[in-house]
Amino acid sequence: MLGHGGANHPETPVHAKTLRPLIAGLVLGLLANTASLAASLEQMAGQMIVVGFKGDSVKDKSVIALRKAVAEGRVGGVMYLKYNVASLSAVKAMNEAFKEASPELPPFLTLDQEGGSVERLTKDVGFPEIPNAQTVAARNDPAGAQAIYAGMAKDMAALGFTVNFGPVVDLNINPKNLIIAKYGRAFSKDPATVDAYAQAFINAHHAEGMLTSIKHFPGHGSSTADSHAGFVDITKTWSEAELQPYKDLLAGGYDDFVMVGHLYHKDYDGGGQRLPASLSPDWITGVLRGQLGYNGVVISDDLEMGAIRKRFTLKETVIQAVNAGMDVLLFSNTAAYDPALGDEILGILVAQAGKDPNFAKRIEESYGRIVALKGRIGG
């Protein structure tokens, strides 16, 4: 199983894995306290925001403005979509500009590059494409899969990316699933198989100094609807077996990102508030952190998906997500592109923190986790 530092070495005692969560918690607390002393509330809140952007060149006005926001700490990262990729050289130049804007606290430079249909870097711009997860698992053992993902991760790291939103650890339970099974995004319906191939994906990225994000907690594989389009109720289809890949990976020391989906379950809806998992303290604070013992960074799926924006205002979304335990708020900025979206989110965070000391404390907690994770970029 995965570990950083000495956890992969044969001489490391087995019990070190059981000590890791405790040690991580102590270190996290120390980092949070130290970092918060050196940063303003606005700077801490800015690190919680990752946004999409328009433009595909360092000369584009929107890219210049976003670089300034990164430099000033008003956003903590950027998200690439396919229309941001005019050429590989242009992407590399943008990533270098974003990194140079904040060298001490590097931005999360993120994208979805799973393989198959879900990819932002394609053969059209000269990037070697790979098959989807289902095909990779069907044609290769985990070692072979890791070799495939190693090539992809090396090419992504060379362009300056620091975060790949993968692997998918959803179980391929519903063959008619509109967002997972339809595109072959799951490795298998068997949790142990998913764990093995997800580990291969993670190991390959870590070898290149990149971070990953297991998704879509608590499990999208049994759903009968697509959260991109609207409300998704998993109450009757979801089972605890869908948590097993998370249990296995976290037990092995995984602590990059966990991405939470916009999935509704009536037993975990925030006390009758009909909240999806991404806004529900029952899922994030209760299950993910409480039951599974996860101490790392929790990131939302895109908060502009139909499942969210059709039911909640921007203010409601931001406040509820943070109160639920979310650390990083991901906005693709595609619903109605707004160059000031990052600042609007930041304004909501800062204003609410001024009204509610507990909300301000949540921001400090998230900032500590984010600083700790950013310290591993490139390592």
Please give the Cα distance from 215 to 111 (Å, whole number): 13
Q: Are 278 and 321 contacting, i.e. CB atoms less than 8 angstroms apart?
A: yes
Cα first-last separation, the chain: 18
**What mean pLDDT comes out for the span 98-114?**
97
| Amino acid (one-letter) located at 11 | E
Identify the band that residue 95 occupies on the pLDDT scale cut at 50, 70 and 90: very high
| Ramachandran angles phi, psi of 78, nearest 5° | -130, 155
The token duo for 256 is 């990059």
| DSSP-derived secondary structure letter, 3 | -
| Amino acid (one-letter) located at 374 | K
What confidence score (pLDDT) does residue 6 get? 32
What confidence score (pLDDT) does residue 198 get? 98
What confidence score (pLDDT) does residue 226 get? 72
Q: Which of 31-45, 83-97, 98-112, 188-202 has the lowest mean pLDDT?
A: 31-45
Is the pLDDT at 57 greater than 50? The verdict is yes
CATH (domain of 249)? 3.20.20.300
Identify the band that residue 8 occupies on the pLDDT scale cut at 50, 70 and 90: very low
| Residue showing tokens 């390592």 | 379
Q: Are 306 and 229 contacting, i.e. CB atoms less than 8 angstroms apart?
A: yes
Is the pLDDT at 43 greater than 60? The verdict is yes
Contacts of 90 (CB under 8 A, 6+ apart): 56, 57, 58
Identify the band that residue 231 occupies on the pLDDT scale cut at 50, 70 and 90: confident
Q: Are 70 and 97 contacting, i.e. CB atoms less than 8 angstroms apart?
A: no
Identify the band that residue 22 occupies on the pLDDT scale cut at 50, 70 and 90: very low
Per-residue pLDDT tens over the stretch 326-364? 999 999 999 889 999 999 999 999 999 999 999 999 999
| Amino acid (one-letter) located at 377 | I
- Is residue 269 situated within a structural domain? yes
Please give the Cα distance from 200 to 243 (Å, whole number): 19
Please give the Cα distance from 205 to 248 (Å, whole number): 18
| Residue showing tokens 């037990």 | 251
Question: Helix (H) and strand (E) counts for the chain?
Answer: 13, 8
Reply yes or no: is the peptide bond before residue 218 cis, omega within 30 of 0.
Answer: yes
**What mean pLDDT comes out for the span 40-66?**
97
Q: Which domain holds residue 80?
A: 44-374
**What mean pLDDT comes out for the span 159-185?**
97
Q: Are 324 and 280 contacting, i.e. CB atoms less than 8 angstroms apart?
A: yes
What confidence score (pLDDT) does residue 378 get? 84
The structural domain count of the chain equals: 1
**What mean pLDDT comes out for the span 44-54?**
97
Identify the band that residue 28 occupies on the pLDDT scale cut at 50, 70 and 90: very low
What distances in angstroms separate CA 313 from CA 100, 289, 319, 320, one per listed residue? Answer: 34, 26, 10, 10
Per-residue pLDDT tens over the stretch 184-228? 999 999 999 999 999 999 999 999 999 999 999 999 999 997 777
Please give the Cα distance from 178 to 181 (Å, whole number): 7
**What mean pLDDT comes out for the span 96-114?**
97
Coil, strand or helix at 7: helix
The widest CA-to-CA distance across the chain, in whole angstroms, is 55
Share of residues in the chain with pLDDT > 90 (%): 85
- Is residue 15 situated within a structural domain? no
The token duo for 324 is 């639920």
Identify the band that residue 39 occupies on the pLDDT scale cut at 50, 70 and 90: confident
Mean pLDDT of the chain: 91
- Is residue 23 situated within a structural domain? no
What confidence score (pLDDT) does residue 222 get? 96
Is the pLDDT at 96 greater than 80? The verdict is yes
Q: Which of 116-125, 165-174, 223-232 has the lowest mean pLDDT?
A: 223-232
- Is residue 106 situated within a structural domain? yes
**Active site residues per annotation:** 228, 301
**What mean pLDDT comes out for the span 68-93?**
98
Per-residue pLDDT tens over the stretch 263-283? 999 999 998 899 999 999 999
- Is residue 167 situated within a structural domain? yes
* 114-120 own/partner pairs: CB under 8 Å, 24+ apart: 114/165, 114/166, 114/167, 114/168, 114/185, 115/152, 116/183, 116/184, 116/185, 117/183, 117/184, 117/185, 118/183, 118/185, 120/80, 120/81, 120/82, 120/84, 120/85
Identify the band that residue 287 occupies on the pLDDT scale cut at 50, 70 and 90: very high
Half-sphere exposure of 125 (CA within 13 A, CB side): 18
What confidence score (pLDDT) does residue 307 get? 85
Identify the band that residue 16 occupies on the pLDDT scale cut at 50, 70 and 90: very low
- Is residue 10 situated within a structural domain? no
- Is residue 3 situated within a structural domain? no
**What mean pLDDT comes out for the span 54-63?**
96
Identify the band that residue 38 occupies on the pLDDT scale cut at 50, 70 and 90: low
Please give the Cα distance from 360 to 45 (Å, whole number): 9
Coil, strand or helix at 220: coil
- Is residue 18 situated within a structural domain? no
